[in-house]
Amino acid sequence: MQQGPRKQDKLLFTPGPLTTSPTVKQAALRDLGSRDHEFIGIVRNIRRKLLELGGVADRGFEAILMQGSGTFAIESVLSSTVPPDGKLVAVVNGAYGRRIAQIARTLKITVTELACPEDQRPDTEQLGRVLEADPSITHVAVVHSETSTGMINPVREIGEIVKHFNRIYFVDAMSSFGGMPLNLVDCRIDYLVSSANKCLEGIPGFAFVLAQREALLSTAGFARGVSLDLLAQWKGLEADGQFRFTPPTHALLAFHQALRELEAEGGVESRAARYRTNYQVLSEGMRELGFEGYLRPEERGYIITAFRYPQHPKFDFGEFYAHLSEKGYVIYPGKVSTADCFRIGCIGHLFPDDMRGLLGAIRETLAEMGITLCPAVVAK
């Protein structure tokens, strides 16, 4: 497997789109008709494999592919599965939880935000009290890996509470599915959304929903639109294997190859081990360079990490970013509302040596900017 900076592409230490393998990129360089038998077979294979990755093959779930980014699929679930008189609780501790609430409000869905600070996990006991007090609540939504900070939310514990009160459970697993073991039945999830260009290491172009079949079938007539009608999309795929509207053929071909490479790597467990090693190298190296993580170490996931701006008069994120980009390393701006942060991802076709290369580039950049930092103290 190729490692280190590539002449053609900068390395992307982001939450997606990500650095992809040369063979995944190569797989997209084919023209294939959307009604071609080979293409229909590839779509069928992708849907089956996604169910296997979620631990729900032959367990009453369906995989539904949806054109567009992951946010399109989130809007598809919200607009198609919440009844006209339904009510949503959005568990919020970051920007992507707030986005779910924003989409719901735009769709004229009654929504309550169960919010907590961005550096804290949700209060599951409070969720139980909210559900007990309001029987009109029909759905609960949460982000698994809250990408704005790197927080991993307790989707299993939340699922137990949601199902204790017999509500529908929706999980945004955009930046975690395929990079963290996640079984939908064990977590009591009815709808899960993720995207091709995250931990499964495909290219942008489509997202997908894993849906509990009985819950999906009960949503007839709920859709608030046409192109994002989740039930209609599933019925179309089931009827003839085809998309209702033009599919992202090249992205699907690349994703098919990406799934082969996931299997060759040893599956989700092996990929998770690589990502964890990437994170360990990054975390230790950034601490030695003097950077402080936004979250306490015990609260961080290994998908992406938010780091606070150093308190140094010469630090300017725009300049810092530009220096690293010129060296072939692309990081990500922050999305924390109450602190100045930037983010570094550990996912995609990246390896420990790539993380060490980034750390070396950061060290050089600090010297070029005339910045000297003291090694950060690990929070207890």
Q: Which domains does the chain have, with CATH numbers?
A: 11-19+267-368 (3.90.1150.10), 22-263 (3.40.640.10)
pTM over 0.85: yes
Residue 340: helix, strand or coil by DSSP? coil
74-108 pLDDT, tens digit per residue, is: 999 999 999 999 999 999 999 999 999 999 999 99
Burial string for 321-358 (b: 16+ CB within 10 Å, else e) reads: bebbeebbbbbbebbbeeeebbbbbbbbbbbbebbbbb
Percentage of the chain modeled with pLDDT above 70 = 97
Average of per-residue pLDDT values in the chain: 95
Average pLDDT over residues 150-160: 97
Average pLDDT over residues 152-178: 98
186 half-sphere exposure, CB direction, 13 A CA radius: 7
Q: 111 forms bridges with which residues in the sheet? A: 88
CA–CA distance, 272 with 302 (Å, rounded to integer): 9
Would the pLDDT of 6 be above 60?
no
The pLDDT of residue 375: 83
CA–CA distance, 63 with 50 (Å, rounded to integer): 7
The pLDDT of residue 1: 44
- The packing angle between helices 95-106 and 70-81, to 10°, is 50
Would the pLDDT of 380 be above 60?
no
41-65 pLDDT, tens digit per residue, is: 999 999 999 999 999 999 999 999 9
Average pLDDT over residues 302-317: 96
